[in-house]
Structure formats: structure tokens, C-alpha cells
Chain A
């Protein structure tokens, strides 16, 4: 036991005395969260739009006004001919153009049908989808009001509602993803690098030659990073709730349990990497390239898994991050509890068991 504590103390000295380690451990997660939150967000704020309105009646003006005063859009230009539509979109100052049909109000009242054309700048499909949703919501809202006041029942057609993320806030999507990524990064990369460093400086030779048991060496490497990851988890959650206003709708306890399990899995992966990597740079490359890339692209964090080819979907099932992110979404956003994440908990537990067994087996009592 004394060996174990002495070792952990030493690990903390390493961590606290190296500025860069501290930066990567504590600052990087925050920076990543903020980056994903603002820079990479598909949320729309203050996008310009133009209007071509041949009817110029009360309905079209109301709709235009509502779009203009919303926090998402502002009216950039009023067009006088349909030919101008393409031109103004090409100019890049507007993200979409609203084109009303002629006799809009009349048509709506009398036939119950009126057409609005929404012409989007599709260069960034993600943003375009978001804009489309916002605009539709605003127009539907207006229609709803009209219906409420109307004495005659108009034909009611679309009633659209976004489940779980009514405003399509992208932070709802990225927070669980970033959590999955940061925990993997900190745990796998930092543990594997710190073990590889001991191999590089030759201290591992001395430790191996000492009477210390391999299990003790492994555990003492894991504990400090487990502890730091918990701190990270708390920071991320606090930032998510207070900075990005993503609520923890479900069972907080369940969220913590699944996170601890995921941290454990990530640490086991770090150990596994370190049994292969003999230098810090190799450890960094493996954890960086072989882990981060799939986590970013395959875990469902950036692209929906359902849209991937079957082969990649299969690959995604093997990623702990995929299961973790699903579980976090279920709890944080859908507001569910333990019952909803039993499958995820099960899969992650199995992975943890398999990985830790494997890395204990692979941990060499000799140099090679």
C-alpha cells in the first residue's frame, strides 16, 4: 500500500510540475467545449435574408416582419423582380430569400392554400437545414395564430414540432459528443503518454526490476487520471448547464455512473496503447489518430450513425464513445433515467472488463 501511495504522489508531482500537462488536462477540455459550442455550432444568429413580395398584403408583411424581428434573421434587402434572387444569394450577404406567391392573403383565406418559396444558400447544408427549420417554425407560428382568430375553419395542414430540441439547438448535440471525446482524450492519451515516458527515460526498467507488482504499477498510473477526469467531467457539466444552457433533464446519478464507467474504459484503452507504444510520440499518434478520429466521426457526435454505410455503422458499434454519447443524450436531453440506458451500461461494462483483462495480460514484466 505504501508503494501505491508513493507512486500516486509521484504521478501528481509529474502532472502539477509540467505546465503543458496541466494545460492539456484542465484547459483543453474547456477550450474544446467553447470551440464546439460557438465556432463549430450550426446554430443561426443574425442571418440576413431578402424578400420578393409581389402581393404586398397584410399577411406577407406580417410574415416578413416576424422574420425580421426574430433573433435569428434580419431583413437585408427587398427585391423588385424574381431575377434578382440568384444575384443577391450569390452576393453572399443573405442566407435565404423568401418569395411569396401573388395574391397571397386572398389565396390563403379563400382557398386555404398559399405558397411561400424558401430559396436557400445550400453551401453549408447543416446551416441550411437549421435555417429552414427556424423559418418554417416562424411561418407555422403565424399560421397558427391566424387559425386561432379565424371564424371559418381553414384547412389545417402541417403541424410540426421538434421533439427534445425544439429550437434545434446544436449545443444539445455537441455537449454529449464533446464529453465523449474529451474523456477519451484525457484518459487514453495522458495515461499512455505517461507510461511511454517512463519507458523512454528508462525509469520503467528500474520499476520492472523492483519488487513492485505490475498490477500496482498499472493502478497507480490509472488513479491520478481517473481523479482528474472526474474533475473534467464536473467542469464540462457545469459549463454545459450554465454556459450553453443544456439542462440535465434526466437522472444526474445515472449520468455520473455511466460517465465513471466510460472513464474507466478510456483508461483501459490508454493502458493498452502503452503496452504497444515505446515512446511518447507513438503513444500520442496512436491515441490521437487511431482514437480521436473515429470518436469524432463515427460516434454520432458529428454525423448521424444511421446515415453511414453499413460497414461504418458496424465499426461505430465497437466504439465505447458511441454507447456513451447515446447514454448521455438519453439522460441529459431526453430526460430519461437508469432504465433507458441499461443496454449502454451493459455494453460499456463488457468493454471495460475485456479491455482491462487484455491490458493486464499485455503489460509486460520484461522490456519486450
Chain B
């Protein structure tokens, strides 16, 4: 992500030891973090990890059992009305009126937030231009990508200082997802702080800093680059003609610590550095794999996530 022209020195959002239970389930435990002004902060993790609960606490919709949270200098419990004027929120479930047209939805939310479309048109122009041909269509009849764009417009209409986007790209195809992230980049350039959650690990790269969340806890908070740098073992991409057989054979090798399929190659780590890629090549040939391709690679966020999340706890 390009450097923002805004200095990242003011804390916009912070959480201190937040705990929250839902019935017997500990939805969040001991969450602490800070988000700086003008930053895109990603909360990355699978469904059920606690992302939505965290977003609801930060948007003043839910009370934490323990811990404090501040948004734009206001306490989420005591000053919730001040916070509500300053933030834009896009809940996880698609949240517009399906039986209202694009135009009617926008007008409605503009009025609810005491503004007009004209007043903040510059903020939504880039997105709205794409929606304009469908402005008299009912929101329910839009495609997934278009719905997300409309929801973003509605969340932006009152020129919020902080934008909370809860899984804006879930279920959206890769092209629309990419476009959506391009839009977020533009909003960041206008100085808006963005907190966004996603289950898609590849989107982590587009954030300034990310928090990896699993089972209600942050397992790491850092920039994507630092997280990747922190990957302990050398990582190899291995491919051959018969990928499924290759996977099984790699798993059977006792020097292999982990092996996961990653698209066109399997990502493999070894228990210690004494085992090299040449050794692996020999092993695979002994199993009848010729035409192998082994190369050392830089890990992706997904590699890091799997490495950090405790095995067996995969939920």
C-alpha cells in the first residue's frame, strides 16, 4: 500500500484487554491493539473467529464483558453518541434495503446521517459512477459486487473519519474484490482510517497492518511484511506431475514438518536445516516422482496464519 500523506501518529482506535462471552463461547479473549490515523488495519481470520463481535464492540453496538475500547478519543461505552457521529459502518450481512432502489437507499442513508448526496459527492463519486446506470434498480436485484459498492457508498455518505467494514468482500468474486480494495486505497488517500475484516488471506497484503485472529484471540499484530519475515523455517514450493500423490508422499517423509497444498504447488517446511532441497529431490525420485520442481519461496500471509494458529485448533 502506498504511503499515506497523513502522519500516522494519532491513535484513532484502541482496545485494551477486551473480553466478551456469548453464552458459553468465549467470543473474544484479551484483545488489545491500536490503529493509527489514516491506516488500513485488517482483521484477518476465518468465520467464527470473533471478527464481528469485535466490530460490534468498536461500533458501540455491543458491550464488552471486560476491557476498554476508545474510538477517536471517545470511550465506546460512555461517549457512544459522539462515536456514532464520526464512524461509518458496513455490517457483515449485506445491510441495505433490498426493496428500495439504489438511489432511494442512498438518499435514505444520507438523510439519516443528516446530510445529502450532493454534499459529500466527491467522496463517493468514483464508486457511484459505476452504480449510476442501475440507480433505479432495486438493491436486491444487484450482483454481489454491486451490492458491496452500494453499501460502501451508504457507509461513506456522511464523510466518516473512521470506516468499519466487516467482511465486505465475503462471497464476492475476485474481480469485484480487487476493485473494492482499489476503492479502499483511494479512501485511505483521503485520510480516512479504515478497519476491515476478511477471511481471505490474500487481502491481508493490501493492509498497512494486520491482526491475525483465531478462536477469539489475536495471534499476531504487525505489518504484513514483518509477519512474513517472522516465518521461522525456510519454505519450499514443490510441484510435480501428480500433485495428489506428491502430497501424500511428502507427508510420509519424516523430515517434512508441514506440507500444505497451495494452488499449483505444495508448500513444505522441514524440521531442521540439515535436510535440503536436494535431499528432498532424492526422496521424491525414490518415490517415483520425476519432473519435480522445488524452489525456495517467501511465505504468504496464509502460510504464516497456518503456522501461527495452533494445529488441531483449526476451527
Contact = CB atoms under 8 A, between A and B. Distances in A.
A–B: direct contact at CB < 8 Å = yes
Interface stretch (B11-19, B85-93, B271-279): B85-93
Contacts of B100: 10, 13-14
B95 A209 contact: no
B74 interface: no
B108 A202 contact: no
A39 interface: no
Interface in A202-237: 202-203, 205-212
Main SS of the interface on chain A? helix
A366 interface: yes
Interface string B42-67: 00000000000000100111110000
B95 A10 contact: no
Interface residues of A, number: 24
A17 to B, nearest CB: 5
Which of A7, A18, A211, A367 has the most chain B CB atoms closer than 10 A to its own CB?
A211
Contacts of B98: 201
A198 to B, nearest CB: 9
B104 A13 contact: yes
Contacts of B97: 10, 13-14, 201, 203
A202 B94 contact: yes
Contact of A206 (B60, B85, B95): B95
B305 interface: no
B270 interface: no
Category for how many chain B residues contact A: 20 to 34
Contact of B95 (A13, A202, A212, A368): A202
Contacts of B92: 202
Contacts of A339: none
Contacts of A14: 97, 99-100
Contacts of B61: 205, 208-209, 366-367
Given A10-B104, A366-B63, A206 B89 contact: yes
Contact of A6 (B85, B107, B154): B107
B91 A205 contact: yes
A366 B77 CA distance: 10
B108 A6 contact: yes
B93 A212 contact: no
A209 B76 CA distance: 12
Contact of A202 (B91, B111, B155): B91
A209 B84 contact: yes
A297 to B, nearest CB: 36
A367 B59 CA distance: 11
B113 interface: yes
B113 A210 contact: yes
Contact of B85 (A10, A211, A368): A211
A4 to B, nearest CB: 9
Nearest to A17: B99
Given A202-B92, A366-B63, A367-B61, A209 B111 contact: no
18 contacts: A6-B108, A13-B100, A13-B104, A14-B100, A201-B98, A202-B95, A205-B91, A206-B154, A207-B112, A209-B61, A209-B87, A209-B89, A210-B113, A211-B81, A211-B84, A211-B113, A365-B80, A366-B80
Interface of A: 2-3, 6-7, 10, 13-14, 17-18, 201-203, 205-212, 365-368
